[in-house]
Amino acid sequence: MKKILIANRGEIALRIMRTCKRLGIKTVAIYSEADADAPFVRFADESVCVGPPPSAQSYLQGDKIIAICKELDVDGIHPGYGFLSENANFTRKVTDAGINFIGPSPEAMEVMGSKLAAKAAVKEYGIPMVPGIDEAITDIPLALEKSKQIGYPILIKASAGGGGKGMRIVERPEDFVDQMNMAVSEAVSAFGDGAVFIERYVGSPRHIEIQVMADKHGNVVHLFERECSIQRRHQKVIEEAPSAVLTPELRDAMGKAACDVARACNYYGAGTVEFLYENGEFFFLEMNTRLQVEHPVTEMITGVDLVEEQINVALGKPLSFNQDDLSINGHALEIRVYAEDPKNNFLPDIGQLEIYRRPVGEGVRVDDGFEEGMHIPIYYDPMIAKLIVHGEDREDAIRKMTKAIEDYDIVGIQSTLDFCHYAINHEAFVSGNFDTHFVKYHFTDPTILDVTDEDTLLVASVFGNYLLNDAESHGDYTPSAESTEWTRNRS
């Protein structure tokens, strides 16, 4: 493979390009008008503007992307994650055009893209699943009766869902009808598919996923687990590998189950099988048929470049390792640095990176797509970067991450840095005694993140005065009444 187009943007585009450069493969970046000055555009060997800022007019223009590939003699497309990465129709078009899609088959995407189809596919392998119904249901009286049989609380979930959309927890039978109607309506709005199913609500789960890698010759291995239980709005913000809760026996059992899930859909490439874990039991949740945002922690503990393996698999090569070749080396932590305000329900806080300085050090990795002075576009996910550290053990990783966060300077927008600093040093996290409700139970008073450090106060004061005095020269930024009052008080 001589030339690969990365059908994505930002930090994941850069991350893929770096592996391609190391392998001597030329890269093509596509970009929207909003990303014209982004680092990934300059880093690529060739770059092509694919449309206006909105994703539907740029990064989701599959036919235009394929046409660019033909024009530039591209051999392969790497979709990264998000956008077109799990779009089976796009994958078919890429393959039909004679271009290598660096990912799984469209058939595997379709099976695992539906939670109900996925459940049906893995049944014969005896993989544990949350008790519930394994088929779409629309008859409300029947659904109500099934819910009573399962036992409350129950969870209504959109079959085509993700990210918490089309999901409703129902505590009492009398709330069921309203909650089901809302779940169906939200599923139709978000996914164009109102199919829902019902299962028992796991009250204190941990979110544990297994990285799998498979080739086109029937070889399937797992690269151990990642724990992603620290979440907000059902979306991950802190990940680690390995999990603090799994025993070697559980790790082996979950790894085998994950490999069987891959076999159930004739999978090849990199994929992630997600499980819920509670009180020694684990249940199959879903499979993500792509590279995950949190894949760097797996790379840190295994030494495997997952993108390189993806490319080799796409070329028809067998895996370069077997299960016995893999072992866990140390401990890795990743935090997602979002342009969000943790003190305002993690709402996006779009603006300019007035100061942006990355931490450095042994075992510290920053995957990002921004530079100082750039604006965070309003059109896409507000993630600025992923900060990853690798330590000798979990305690060492927490120590390294704490220092790395403290050395990470971001001024101009609110970010999740302070929340992540708070979370990884919280007794519940340090002890390993936490679940997906961490934010609900341990972040009840967001003012705990208020600035107290004298140096940080000085920076806030200087920047606050800058905003108040020079806002007119930055027409794209207008401080709210609340932020103006905050800067006055701090100054």
3-state helix, strand, coil in the chain (%, to 5): 40, 25, 35
**C-alpha angle 195-199-204 in degrees, rounded to nearest 5:** 130
Tens digit of pLDDT for each residue in 211-252?
Answer: 999 999 999 999 999 999 999 988 999 999 999 999 999 999
Alpha-carbon distance of 243 to 13, in angstroms, equals 28
Examine residue 124 and state whether it is found in any structural domain, yes or no. Answer: no
Say how many domains are in the chain: 4
Q: Is 362 exposed, middle or buried (0-12, 13-18, 19+ CB in 10 A)?
A: exposed
* 90 and 163 both lie in a single domain: no
pLDDT at position 478 over 60: no
Alpha-carbon distance of 73 to 86, in angstroms, equals 24
* 355 and 485 both lie in a single domain: no
Whether residue 382 has a cis bond before it, omega within 30° of 0: no
In the block, tokens 């909650």 appear at: 179
Helix (H, G, I), strand (E, B) or coil at 7: coil
Examine residue 375 and state whether it is found in any structural domain, yes or no. Answer: yes
Examine residue 431 and state whether it is found in any structural domain, yes or no. Answer: yes
* 231 and 378 both lie in a single domain: yes
User: Of 139, 142, 199, which Cα lies nearest the Cα of 167?
Assistant: 199
Q: What was the pLDDT predicted at 49?
A: 98
Tens digit of pLDDT for each residue in 33-53?
Answer: 999 999 999 999 999 999 999
Tens digit of pLDDT for each residue in 387-443?
Answer: 999 999 999 999 999 999 999 999 999 999 999 999 999 999 999 999 999 999 999
pLDDT band at 140 (very low <50, low <70, confident <90, very high): confident
Strands (E), 106-160: 154-158
* 300 and 433 both lie in a single domain: yes
Whichever domain contains 188, its CATH number is 3.30.1490.20
Average of per-residue pLDDT across 90-94 = 98
* 331 and 230 both lie in a single domain: yes
Mark which of 200, 233, 250 sits at the end of a domain. Answer: 200
pLDDT at position 133 over 90: no
Neighbouring CB atoms inside 10 A of 455's CB total 8
Query: Under a CB-based contact definition with an 8 Å cutoff, are residues 321 and 329 in contact?
Result: no
Q: DSSP string spanning 272-322? A: EEEEEEETTEEEEEEEE-S--TTHHHHHHHH---HHHHHHHHHTTPPPS--
Examine residue 108 and state whether it is found in any structural domain, yes or no. Answer: no
Cα–Cα separations (whole angstroms), residue 52 to 32, 56, 131, 369: 5, 9, 46, 19
290 is catalytic: yes
pLDDT band at 139 (very low <50, low <70, confident <90, very high): confident
Average of per-residue pLDDT across 437-456 = 79
User: Which of 155-169, 271-285, 295-309 is least confident?
Assistant: 155-169
* 468 and 426 both lie in a single domain: no
pLDDT band at 451 (very low <50, low <70, confident <90, very high): low
Query: Under a CB-based contact definition with an 8 Å cutoff, are residues 33 and 380 in contact?
Result: no
Q: What was the pLDDT predicted at 192?
A: 87
For 376, which DSSP code? P
Examine residue 115 and state whether it is found in any structural domain, yes or no. Answer: no
* 420 and 466 both lie in a single domain: no
Strands (E), 143-183: 154-158, 167-170
Examine residue 219 and state whether it is found in any structural domain, yes or no. Answer: yes
Non-local (6+) Cβ contacts of 47 within 8 A are: 28, 29, 30, 31, 41
Whichever domain contains 78, its CATH number is 3.40.50.20
* 361 and 481 both lie in a single domain: no
Q: What was the pLDDT predicted at 465?
A: 40
For 394, which DSSP code? H
pLDDT at position 468 over 90: no
- The chain-wide mean pLDDT, for the chain, equals 90
* 150 and 244 both lie in a single domain: no
pTM reported for the whole predicted model: 0.87
* 441 and 461 both lie in a single domain: no
pLDDT at position 335 over 60: yes
Residues paired with 6 in a beta bridge? 29, 78
| Catalytic residue (choose from 168, 206, 290, 490) | 290
pLDDT at position 9 over 60: yes
* 402 and 473 both lie in a single domain: no
Examine residue 162 and state whether it is found in any structural domain, yes or no. Answer: yes
Total length of the chain:
491
Average of per-residue pLDDT across 293-312 = 98
Residues paired with 272 in a beta bridge? 211, 288
Largest CA distance in the chain: 67
Q: What was the pLDDT predicted at 162?
A: 67
Q: Name the token pair of 71.
A: 């024009």
Cα–Cα separations (whole angstroms), residue 360 to 264, 304, 409, 461: 42, 22, 12, 26
Q: Name the token pair of 211.
A: 């990285």
* 38 and 55 both lie in a single domain: yes
Average of per-residue pLDDT across 298-308 = 98
User: Of 218, 212, 211, 221, which Cα lies nearest the Cα of 316?
Assistant: 218
Alpha-carbon distance of 188 to 194, in angstroms, equals 5
Query: Under a CB-based contact definition with an 8 Å cutoff, are residues 313 and 438 in contact?
Result: no
Alpha-carbon distance of 448 to 151, in angstroms, equals 38
- Per the structure, the complete domain to which residue 472 belongs is given by 451-490
pLDDT band at 163 (very low <50, low <70, confident <90, very high): low
End-to-end CA distance of the chain: 57
